[in-house]
Amino acid sequence: MCLEVLAQNLASFSILFNAVGNWPVEALAESDVHFLYIEVWPPDVEYRHLAEIVLNAVGLSHGKAVVIALYLPARRTANNLLADGIILACGGTRIELGEEARLLSDPYFPRHEEVSPELQNELQRLADFTIRNGEWLRPYTLSSLQKQVWSNGELNSELISIDNGIWTVMRNYPKSFVVQFINFSGLDPHQRWDEAHVAPTAGQDVSVKIQTPHCPTQVFWDCPEQMTGPQALHFEYSEGMLTFQIPHIQFIGLVAIHE
């Protein structure tokens, strides 16, 4: 009788499991957990590993929410912003701020750290960007079948031609597709998130070419630094090739392409 009551009570709560070191993500993806919670630790220390972990979890779970725990010192502004950008672009979110907006920089949460004004401003911009582009960053309004298609995000698709210093993640929606851009210009492609580094070199008027069978009706660009929100881009289309320029990128941005 007690077990029956316990089971009934548990049904009203969210269930999760802390996948330390991304284990056992395959089993969790097929389980009844409400979202995937993953702590990233060495040896997965490259930003590329971080991207692969998030993309894999989103794909295995067919679009479930993925929350990443990644512990970085608050003084490493560039590390925190690049990690946040990669996690967001790949379909996840990061558990990052606790009480009084202090950074959860250690697995023992009471060891939180004060956030600098610079990082605080950048995190606010990132949060604003996330909210206004929620429909492109998460499959909130998609059916189960559409969500499964969305969940198969592709890192650095061969259909996209862009500067080698910029990574891309492509996802498909009904009658549109979205490309997330992650700026690694000036950084080692094997850059580690657990070692201090400078911010990537900002890109200006970056040329992008995408192979697509349909001529788009509209192309919109947005990034955290663009306070006015999405911007319609001029584009050209010829013989299956879409061409446009993104005006500015610091860490991340996205293009929504409407067919």
pLDDT tens, position by position, 142-184: 999 999 999 999 999 999 999 889 999 999 999 999 999 999 9
28-75 confidence digits (pLDDT tens): 999 989 899 999 999 999 999 999 999 999 999 999 999 999 999 999
List every span in the chain annotated with CATH 3.20.20.80.
2-135
Phi, psi of 213 (to 5 degrees): -75, -15
Long-range contacts: 111-116, Cβ < 8 Å, 24+? Answer: 113/73, 113/74, 113/75, 114/74, 115/74, 116/74, 116/75, 116/77
CATH top-level class of 2-135: alpha beta
**How is domain 138-258 classified at the CATH fold level?**
Immunoglobulin-like (2.60.40)
Residues 132-141: tens digit of each pLDDT: 999 999 998 8
Digit-coded pLDDT (tens) for 206-248: 999 999 999 999 999 999 999 888 999 999 999 999 999 999 9
The β-bridge relationship of strands 218-222 and 231-232 is antiparallel
- In this structure, what token pair is assigned to residue 134? 């929620």
Among 191, 166, 170, which residue's Cα sits nearest to residue 251?
166
Asked if 28 contacts 17 with a C-beta cutoff of 8 angstroms, the reply is: yes
- Please check whether residue 91 is in contact with residue 58, taking contact to mean a CB–CB distance below 8 angstroms: yes
End-to-end CA distance of the chain: 57
Residues of the chain with CATH 2.60.40.1180: 138-258
